[in-house]
Amino acid sequence: MDLDNFSRIHLAHLPTPLEPLKALSRHLDGPDIFVKRDDCTGLAGGGNKTRKLEFLMADALDQGADTIVTVGATQSNHVRQTVAACAKLGLRAEVLLEKAVVRDADYASNGNVLLDHLMGATIHHCEPSADLNAEGQAFADQLASDGRKTYFIPTGGSSVVGALGYTGCATEILSQSADAGLDIDAIVVASGSQGTQAGLLVGLAAAEADIPVHGICVSRGRVELETLVHALAEKTAEYAGVKTPILRENVLCDDSYYPPGYGQPNDGMIEAVTLCARIEGLLLDPVYSGKAMAGLIDKIRGGTYKKGDTVIFIHTGGQVALHAYRSTFES
C-alpha cells in the first residue's frame, strides 16, 4: 500500500517517537511497555487527529472548499486540531460542539475550547444528539446553500480518508520496532470514533503483520464499537486497495474502563494519569489516553500482558484537556 497515491498535506511531525516506559514497566513488574508518541504530532498541541487531517484537508482543498465544518464534544481534541489546520491553510472553521458532558466552568471554557476560540473558529453549540454527524452534515449543507464551499469532517476525522493516517502509523510502528529489534505482542489504543483503530488494522493487514490491536472503549459499548471499527476497516481497506481481509474476530475492544461514560472520570483513569505523570513525566489526557492506560495497567495486573512481552501503547494526545479537569485532579 502506497500512501503517495493519495492527496496529502504534511501537517504532522513524523515519524513520532517510539519510547520505552522503563519506570512504568518496573513499577508494574510486567511487560516491556513502549509508547508511540502521537501526542507529539505538533499541530496546536498535537494528537492523533493530525495524521488524519493530512489526508482530509488535502481532500477538502482538492474539492475547492473554503470552509471546513466539523463536530465534537465540548472538549474535542479533534476539533482543536482541525481548527489549527484551518488556520494554517487559510480556511474558515465552523464548529458544532455537543454538550455531551456537563461539568464545571473549567470544562466549558478552558482547555481545548479556549484554543478553539484563540485560533479563530466560529463555535456553535448543540444539545446531545442521537446522530451528531448527521447534524453536522446538515449544518454544512445549510452553509453551502448560503454560498460557502463547505467540506464536512465527521467526528474524530473518522472516515476512509481520515483512517489512511493510521495505516501510515502502522507502517511507522513496524519500521521503528524492526530497527529496535522488538517483537511486538500487542498494541493498545483508546478507541472512540473508530478511525485510529481501523486504520491500524488496515495498515497491519497490508504488511501481513499478525499483531493484535486492543481498543479500549471510551465512548460506547464493546459490541457496538467492534462492529463499527470492523465496518470502517473494511471500507478503508477497499479504498486503499488492501486485499488482505479484515476479519471480524480480529477487532478487539474492551469497554470495562469506559464507565460512567464518555468524558466522565473514573478511579482507574485518575490513577493512570497520576502514575504516568509522577514516574515517567508523561502527561496523558482524562478522556482517551488516560482510560486506555488504565486498561493497559489493569490487564498487566490481571496477567493478560506478562513479563517478557512487548506492548506498544498509542498515546493519542489530548493533554490540553487536563486544564478542563482541574477539579478532578485537585481532589
Positions annotated as catalytic residues are: 76
**DSSP summary character for residue 121:** P
Answer for the pair 278, 285: CB distance below 8 angstroms, yes or no.
no
Strands (E), 154-278: 186-191, 213-217, 252-254
CA distances from 306 to 3, 99, 210, 291, 311 (A): 35, 40, 19, 20, 10
Residue 19, beta-bridge partner list? 35
Q: Kindly provide the residue ranges of all beta strands, DSSP E only, lying in the chain, ordered along the sequence.
A: 18-20, 32-37, 67-73, 92-98, 122-126, 150-153, 186-191, 213-217, 252-254, 310-315
Q: How far apart are CA 199 and CA 164, in angstroms?
A: 6
Strands (E), 74-128: 92-98, 122-126
C-alpha cell at 183: 517483537
Smallest CA-to-CA distance from 38 within 330, 319, 270, 327 is with 319
User: Which amino acid would we find at residue 155?
Assistant: T
User: For residues 254 and 215, is the Cβ–Cβ distance under 8 A?
Assistant: yes
